Chain A
Amino acid sequence: MKASGKLAALTLTALLTVTACGGGGDAAPAAQGPQPLRMSIWTSNEAHLKLFNEIAAEYRKSHPQVGEITFDPIPFENYTTTLTTQIAGGNAPDLAWILENSAPDFVGSGALVPLKSKVENAGELVPAATRLWERDGELYAYPFSTSPFGVFVNTDLVKAAGQKTPRELIKAGQWDWEHANEINKAVAAKGKNGLTILNFDYKAWDNLATVWQGWGAKAWSDDGSTCQFNAPEMVEAMTFMHKAIFTDKSMPGPGTAVDFFSGDTAMAVAQISRAAMLEDATFKWDLVPLPAGPKGEYAVIGQAGIGVLKKSPRAEQATDFLAYFTNVANSAKLAAYFPPARSSLLTADTMAKTSPMLNGDQLQEVVIDGIEKGVVKPSHKGQAELAQTARAALDPLWKPDADVKAVLDGVCAKIQPLLGG
């Protein structure tokens, strides 16, 4: 071999050695000293993080073998994508907060550690809250937050527009979408924003379940095999929304950034965890249930579970910490922001002790009653691709001259193949 050839071979060997040494991302760490744990979460709210860190610090006092426990916030918009990328890149957290729309994928793939025998008083978990997280009778993620959507109301803006407040309408038995729309029209006419659905932004269409459920509409059939976007109920619901956006201007149009918490918006459909953002609010606010639709009163639930990833080299410690984090005592503390799935805690009195931002009426109407009668936002296997495909097909709806029925027919034509029906 020529000298240059030898040199090249030597370089390549050195490179391969370096590469080989750099591999093994999944290798177990040296089991010496306290082992750290990392949990991915979507919230970066200071009040939430403070509570999480307090519980973790308490746990470490009795578990010296566990090192620092970090809560790793990932922005909500790209939460699942970022989490998946971390897993693919060999940087998976030990525990992960999992949103309801990706529950079928995480639970069905076998990526999570079974938890049922580890959870304290697992028998008291409300069946409606555990359904998404179970497979073959085993629980794969703790239903950490079972949170019905409600409507946050800026009562100052509503009154300034000369309208009855939603609370007054509830007492008069008139709290429905038509009356809500009248309030929002009046507020919009005064130059402020009417009603916004948080996180929808004309992309996350599954949040529209908080509206269409009032018409009895569904994205797909209960067995997940048939598209129902073009069913008459959905067409009616979407026609109502389209009119509210483009004719009544009672909902902000596409391409408009709206923030309820800054005080320029009359109403926002959101979950109670957002109440923490109203701590320093400069306006009077209220939380009321979703308005009734033509099919009567209803509730929609957003859920999040916490699971332990099988890939974690510290899965056993992570499972033990999760059991502590979600035991009865800590669930009661966490209930301040994240409605618990434990029947013993699901009373307005109990929750009021830990939710200083919300009063008994609000907790009873929105949370307790909501969990009882609510349906979970749509979720399906392969939800990310379904969501993106439906988003692209729904885009033509968000124009003033859209043919609602034709657009919804188009949505079904696009997503039916993905539903597998």
Chain B
Amino acid sequence: MTVTDLGNRVAERAATRPRHFWTIPRRDALVGYLMISPQLAGSALFVLLPLGLVVYYSLQEWNVLAGTFEFVGGDNYAKLLADPNMGQVLTSTAFFSVGLVVLNLTLALTLAILLDQRLRGTTFFRTLFFSPVLVSLVAWTIVWQFLLQQDGGVNGLLGVAGVDGPNWLRGETTALLSVVVVQVVKNVGLNMVLFLAALQGVPRQLYEAAQLDGAGAWTRFLRITVPLISPTILLTSIITVVGSLQVFAQIAVLTQGGPGMSTTVLVYYLYQQAFQFRHLGYGATLSVLLFLIVAALTLLQWRLRRRWVFHES
């Protein structure tokens, strides 16, 4: 038997052998799908299904008390476009989100840089600044409500310094500012920890080399620190932007959207329409708008990452 004959016989046997369905790649695929199936099921049940339902409800007029459902097509979307309050609501939302994101990220990065120094007591301060993240949100907000009263703790401290503090939660500007500050102090520790981890990943020799080349502190920060922690800046900015658009409890407890409508941000307006005024169809329409805004901003940030996020690879 020649080598060629042997080769032909092996090929014939292989061709006549029954083919098994469960090939190794298929088994691997099955295991993979089984691994992710709980997450898939969770996402479908608790993300995709509610999303679909919200869109469905936005096309209905749902009278909760009477228990009636009526298809109204795009009426709720037409109402959204004609809503005289939307201008004020979107403006408040934009001011609130911009203020919160800028203040939170700036403060978090500043604290992280300060606490990244090898000094005595940094562990204590890291714990101190992170601890509000662990406190119950509503309890935290109620405490701040007392502190921000006309005769509360904040004005008491200002009084010691000889300053007559404003009625924080009753002024249109100060109320918005108060909610932003309460939220920032509550959550800045989370971003601080993320920045701290990123800062500790920056190779120290880069700073030493830059210093030998005569780069000052500001130049080292801009040319070394910022590029190398840019993935974390992207992550924290996405989390903070999305979070800022969903802040609800602080507004519900501190101001209930007032004074006037100065702190009525989109998510609170949605709650008012859907649950207080029982306009559930319109509330669902506002939810769709909120979803679109969050999705658009996240997509925008994700696209922009190519321009400013530094990747070693």
Contacts and interface: CB of A to CB of B under 8 A. Distances in A.
Q: Do A and B come from one complex?
A: yes
Given A84-B65, A88-B280, A255 B41 contact: no
A11 to B, nearest CB: 6
Given A88-B64, A110-B66, A392-B261, 20 more contacts: A4-B29, A7-B30, A81-B275, A84-B275, A85-B275, A106-B65, A109-B65, A111-B66, A253-B150, A253-B167, A254-B150, A255-B150, A255-B169, A311-B67, A384-B276, A385-B276, A385-B277, A392-B258, A395-B260, A398-B259
B276 A388 contact: yes
Given A4-B33, A19-B49, A84-B278, A111 B65 contact: yes
A19 B41 CA distance: 11
Interface in A1-24: 3-4, 7, 11-12, 14-15, 18-19
6 contacts: A11-B33, A87-B65, A254-B170, A388-B276, A392-B260, A392-B261
Interface residues of A, number: 39
Contacts of A253: 150, 167
Judged by DSSP, the binding face of A is: helix
A255 B33 contact: no
A3 B170 contact: no
B258 A391 contact: yes
Interface string A351-368: 000000000000000000
B261 to A, nearest CB: 5
Contacts of A385: 276-277, 279
B149 interface: yes
B102 interface: no
A396 interface: yes
Contacts of A84: 64-65, 275, 278
Interface in B61-79: 62-67
Interface in B258-283: 258-261, 264, 272, 275-280
Nearest to A396: B260
B291 interface: no
Contacts of A7: 30, 33
B40 interface: yes
A392 B257 contact: yes
Contact of A203 (B44, B256, B277): B256
Contacts of B258: 203, 391-392, 395
Nearest to B66: A109
Contacts of B26: 3
Interface string B209-229: 000000000000000000000
B41 to A, nearest CB: 6
B170 A398 contact: yes
B151 interface: yes
Contact of B278 (A11, A14, A19, A384): A384
Interface string A85-103: 1011000000000000000
A7 B26 CA distance: 12
A297 B170 CA distance: 34
B281 to A, nearest CB: 12
Most buried by B among A18, A254, A311: A254
B308 interface: no
B131 interface: no
Nearest to B41: A15
A256 interface: yes
A399 interface: yes
A392 B269 CA distance: 13
B302 interface: no
A76 to B, nearest CB: 14
A398 B171 CA distance: 10
B200 interface: no
Contacts of B33: 4, 7, 11
